[in-house]
């Protein structure tokens, strides 16, 4: 599918985005990363308040742009970045709800795979069930960087859910070893697979389904800096 620049949802010009884009859900988290981690960041998109910036990190061009909440939203933005703007790598930097006793609030979870209750894969007309997985290129670099940085991290399956408030609170995903629940990774992984690109989801556990512990919206926006640094270190090591 050919997409013209600017796209329906991104007003940036050709060449405005780096090859690697960090993608938080929250536009204010994108702004925080740009202003606190990137050198000479410039705003390249602000359609619908979805802020996108490009600058450098340790001399390497890196972009950051919000995805909004949910798989339909990240599906749109990641598709346009991959298809129209020549982006090769998207690293989601988000929040997630812990589902295992050994995973604590503020731990980092790295999504090797992303289970989902979404119907997103139906568009591909597959005769079976597609398993959305991260790009090994990004995953392997990220895990090594997390070890080097001494971060408390876990690697495994995420659940990308279409529902934040659900009548069914006993889903059984935790029994299958799923680490945490979020709302975007599966669609990002599927877009990357379809378009021959690379994707990875790195999330900080912001709340816990078993203990009820939770962080505030301001903490999610400004204090998950270990995850942000890990994503940036991964980006410049590709």
Q: What does the pLDDT look like over 157-209, one tens digit per residue? A: 999 999 988 877 666 899 999 999 999 999 999 999 999 999 999 999 999 99
C-alpha torsion 197→87→227→92, nearest 10: -60
CATH number of 20-235: 3.40.50.1580
Active site residues: 207
Taking only the tens place, the pLDDT of each residue in 47-90 is 999 999 999 999 999 999 999 999 999 999 999 999 999 999 99
DSSP state for residue 68 in the 8-state scheme: -
Mean pLDDT of 148-160: 97
Mean pLDDT of 33-51: 96
pLDDT score for 192: 98
pLDDT score for 170: 63
| Residue given tokens 């640094």 in the structure block | 229
pLDDT score for 217: 84
pLDDT score for 234: 98
113's tokens: 């795979």
Any idea where the domains of the chain sit in the sequence? 20-235
**pLDDT tier, 46 (very low <50, low <70, confident <90, very high otherwise):** very high
With a cut of 90, say whether residue 219 has pLDDT above it.
no
């Amino acid at each position: 599918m050919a997409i013209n620049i600017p796209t329906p949802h991104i007003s940036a010009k050709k060449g405005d985005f780096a090859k690697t884009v960090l993608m938080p859900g929250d536009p204010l988290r994108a702004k925080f990363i740009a202003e606190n981690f990137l050198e000479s960041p410039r705003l390249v998109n602000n359609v619908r308040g979805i802020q996108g910036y490009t600058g450098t990190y340790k001399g390497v061009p890196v972009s950051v742009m919000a995805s909004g909440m949910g798989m339909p939203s990240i599906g749109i933005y990641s598709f346009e970045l991959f298809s129209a703007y020549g982006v090769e790598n998207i690293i989601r930097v988000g929040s997630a709800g812990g589902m295992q006793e050994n995973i604590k609030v503020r731990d980092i979870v790295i999504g090797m795979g992303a289970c989902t209750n979404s119907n997103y894969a139906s568009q591909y007309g597959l005769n079976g069930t597609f398993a959305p997985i991260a790009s090994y290129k990004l995953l392997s670099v990220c895990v090594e960087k997390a070890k080097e940085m001494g971060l408390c991290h876990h690697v495994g399956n995420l659940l990308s859910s279409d529902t934040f408030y659900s009548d069914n609170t006993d889903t059984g995903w935790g029994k299958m070893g799923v680490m945490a629940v979020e709302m975007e990774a599966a669609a990002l992984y599927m877009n990357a697979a379809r378009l021959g690109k690379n994707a990875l989801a790195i999330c900080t556990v912001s709340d816990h389904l078993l203990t009820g512990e939770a962080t505030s919206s301001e903490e999610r926006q400004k204090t998950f800096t270990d995850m942000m640094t890990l994503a940036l270190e991964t980006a410049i090591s590709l």
